[in-house]
Amino acid sequence: MEQRNGKSLTEEAYQKIKGFILRSEIYPRQKIIIEDLSKQMGVSRTPIREAMSRLVKDGYVKQIWNRGFFVNEITVEEVEELYGAREALEPYLAEQAAGRATPAQIQQLEGLLKEYGEYVERRPIRGRRLLDLVFHTKVAEIAGNTYLQRVLGEVFERIVLKQRVAVGPLDRGRDAFLQHQAILAAIRDGKPKNARREALYHVRKSRQLAMLRLQEEENYLKSLKIVG
């Protein structure tokens, strides 16, 4: 197996390609050109192909016969599954965090939320999604459950990686910001039941928004006669 600095080139390629998707350097429905990635990363095509096979297995990429590899996008079924997982996890974790958070941890959450608010005004959805991931995994960390923190991180990673980036209406970002503020206020005030309630409301509203984005995307593609 090819190695560089003691690390498998396949693993290195896998992480880099995943990073490209995460940062929107390649995005849902885009074709991935193995030759281009090989030149860009300075490795042979073999580790790139092996990384692509792993990405296909993990559900981030799909391979279409005689056409190549394409970045997957989230489906209605995945929205239901992923946001169902969030609904099962986040209210419990917020409730636990409200009884455990230290002043230093509260300050960290406040800093994240301040940065989130700045992204809302600039309107880049990808930045908000990444901060959403950090905020909620930080709440999970405060709750003190490392296993659920890891599971929630994986759920968020799939949501961030597989949703198309767009510039959305400003009021949507502001609504989400206010929901985060409500969760933080309940944690700061040491009110577990309020934290659970606000987290549940936030996840359910996020699910509705994810479904709306899917419908808007489908309508847009139909208008271009790309689908249906």
**Rg (the chain; Cα; Å):** 19
Nearest one of 182, 181, 199 to 143, comparing CA atoms: 199
> How many alpha carbons fall within 13 Å on the CB side of residue 63?
13
Place of tokens 């901060």: 131
Please answer whether residues 129 and 163 qualify as being in contact, where contact means their C-beta atoms are separated by less than 8 angstroms: yes
The dihedral formed by the CA atoms of 135, 136, 141 and 146, expressed in degrees to the nearest 10 = -140
- Residues 169 and 84: their CA atoms lie apart, in Å, by 25
Average pLDDT, 10 consecutive residues per value, the chain (228 residues): 64 90 78 91 92 91 91 84 95 96 97 87 67 89 93 85 57 84 98 98 92 74 55
Beta strands (DSSP E) in 58-161 are: 61-64, 68-71
pLDDT of 3: 57
What single string gives the DSSP state of each residue in 163-219?
SPP----HHHHHHHHHHHHHHHHHHHTT-HHHHHHHHHHHHHHHHHHHHHHHHHHHH
Region for residue 61 given its phi and psi (left: phi exceeds 0; alpha: psi -120 to 50; beta: otherwise): beta
Fold (CATH) for 3-71: Arc Repressor Mutant, subunit A (1.10.10)
- For domain 76-223, the CATH architecture is Up-down Bundle (1.20)
Selection from 175, 173, 130, 176 nearest residue 153 by Cα = 130
Report DSSP state, residue 106. Answer: H
Domain ranges of the chain: 3-71, 76-223
pLDDT at 7: 59
Distance CA 161, CA 62 (A): 14
Closest CA relative to residue 99, chosen from 187, 196, 200, 198: 187
Total residue count of the chain as it appears in this document: 228
Contacts for 228 with CB less than 8 Å, ≥ 6 apart: 218, 221, 222
For the chain, the helix, strand and coil percentages under 3-state DSSP, each to the nearest 5: 75, 5, 20
Structure tokens at 221: 């593609």
